[in-house]
Amino acid sequence: MPEPHAEPNPNFSIPGDASGRDFPGRLADACLASGIDPEGRHGRVIRIDSDTLRKKIRRFASARTAVTDADLLFVGLAFVPADPAATIPTDSERLNRLHHARLERTLADPEQALSRATVQAARLLAVVEQAVRSMGGTAEWILEGLDRPAIEALLAVPNDHRIVGMIAGFGVKWPTDEVSRSIPAATAPIDLDGFGGGFSAVRPHTGGGSGGGL
């Protein structure tokens, strides 16, 4: 991922004229502008569409009404492999030699590696928030009072990922037509109602899971 301010475009911005774009389109644009790795090396999110699943998650989220009342709900996951130093760097990380050297030092320290993974996943949630707000919606971060292991079990999250929090979006709808309802795997690591749902890219560095397709 490009370092902050290393690129001419600010992080989380949506480039060009976004008028007329539906939410999946704007979210894909925001992911591309942010430099989020589409193969999940910077984390991923799960969109929770199932009402039944939302009710179950709410039980483990301190009964937060936003979990079931929101128009959109996303769960953010950090990628935390057993050996962080073995994480495959992205092309942009390889090209920036100084950044790559710092990245190798960070990944060699378990505590620093976990901190980096958490920050990267939070950046992905911030991308979701930016896309929601760009369409005139509002977003609520859900970070406290979460029984993370219980929610991870509900979503079939493998051992090499950790939940960092959730984003609830209001005033923005996910389209239901077949043409607009999905996001290409090449632009955003987004699953549906469970880990792996709708994620078609090859992920040799991550664990398996279950979930429905977008």
pLDDT at 201 over 60: no
pLDDT value, residue 182 = 64
The two three-digit tokens of residue 128, written as one number = 């979701």
Beta bridge partners of 167: 74, 141
Domains and CATH numbers, the chain: 23-192 (3.40.109.10)
CA-to-CA distance for 19 and 134, rounded, in angstroms? Answer: 10
Q: From 49, 85, 33, 55, select the one nearest 169 (Cα to Cα).
A: 49
pLDDT value, residue 15 = 46
pLDDT value, residue 65 = 97
pLDDT in tens, 144-175: 999 999 999 999 999 999 999 999 999 999 98
The two three-digit tokens of residue 136, written as one number = 């005139």
Mean pLDDT of 172-183: 72
Q: How far is CA 25 from CA 18, 32, 98, 131, 133, in A?
A: 9, 11, 33, 9, 14
CA-to-CA distance for 210 and 22, rounded, in angstroms? Answer: 27
Q: Alpha carbon 83 to chain centroid distance?
A: 21
pLDDT in tens, 101-132: 888 888 888 899 899 899 999 999 999 999 99
